[in-house]
């Protein structure tokens, strides 16, 4: 009926179900920080599992809800909750060399969500891998490299080569996220459009 509001939708156009999914994925990103972090090389940027949560947020929830989950998580770290791997807060991380990587989580989830919606309902594995790799590796590394250039005294070549240590683990995260997303979309078709 025209003029009748949906009682389940909030003023921002999200249902309680949408908000619950966003909260669950924000919590997932936080939980993936529990194993801690390993700092390699000279950049001071840690290897974490939390980027898996970012990739999954975009690949499973889509652009709007996936990006919202990342924003909720980052907002919680900005108010001082030590949810980043190693017990770091968003403010301390943004003051350090990993600032660009964190900022890159937002466009990464958005990109992955937008392109995942385009390859549904089939979710071909090769395309899923490609989308997740471009978003979860390419975009995050781009922002991370820019952050390294702004926050450290590294030159362009060293800032770019710093990413090489992360590639094996990030490729594994892309594969895991693709397998999980394919299974979720097969079991719950229309999740991104819902």
pLDDT of residue 40: 62
Residue identified by tokens 């996936």 is 66
Cα 61 to Cα 54, 73, 102, 136, 154, distances in angstroms: 10, 15, 19, 15, 36
pLDDT of residue 90: 87
Give the separation between CA 98 and CA 95, rounded to whole angstroms.
Answer: 8
The model's confidence at residue 64, banded by pLDDT at 50, 70 and 90, is: very high
| pLDDT above 50: residue 2 | no
Q: Residues 49-75: what's their mean pLDDT?
A: 97
Q: Phi and psi for 170 in degrees, rounded to 5?
A: -70, -35
Q: What b-and-e string marks burial along 50-89, b requiring 16 or more CB atoms within 10 Å of the CB?
A: bbbbbbbbbbbbbbbbbbbbbebbbebbeeeeebbbeebb
Element (H, E) at 38: strand 38-39
Reported as a single tens digit per residue, the pLDDT across 82-99 is 999 888 888 888 888 889
Element (H, E) at 56: helix 50-56
| pLDDT above 90: residue 175 | yes
- What's the distance, CA 168 to chain centroid? 17
**Prediction pTM value:** 0.89
| pLDDT above 70: residue 6 | no
Give the separation between CA 64 and CA 67, rounded to whole angstroms.
Answer: 6
pLDDT of residue 180: 98
Reported as a single tens digit per residue, the pLDDT across 139-153 is 999 999 999 999 888
């Amino acid at each position: 009926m025209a003029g009748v509001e949906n009682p389940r939708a909030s003023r921002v156009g999200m249902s309680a179900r949408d908000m619950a999914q966003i909260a669950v994925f924000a919590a997932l990103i936080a939980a993936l920080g529990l194993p801690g972090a390993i700092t390699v090389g000279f950049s001071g940027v840690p290897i974490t599992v939390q980027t898996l949560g970012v990739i999954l947020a975009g690949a499973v929830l889509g652009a709007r809800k996936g990006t919202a989950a990342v924003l909720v998580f980052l907002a919680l770290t900005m108010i001082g909750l030590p949810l980043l791997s190693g017990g770091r807060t968003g403010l301390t991380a943004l003051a350090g060399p990993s600032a660009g990587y964190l900022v890159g989580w937002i466009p990464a989830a958005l990109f992955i969500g937008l392109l995942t919606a385009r390859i549904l309902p089939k979710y071909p594995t090769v395309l899923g891998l490609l989308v997740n790799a471009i978003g979860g590796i390419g975009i995050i590394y781009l922002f991370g490299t820019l952050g390294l250039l702004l926050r450290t005294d590294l030159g362009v070549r060293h800032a770019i080569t710093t990413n090489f240590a992360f590639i094996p683990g990030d490729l594994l995260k892309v594969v895991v996220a693709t397998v999980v997303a394919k299974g979720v979309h097969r079991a719950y078709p229309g999740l991104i459009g819902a």
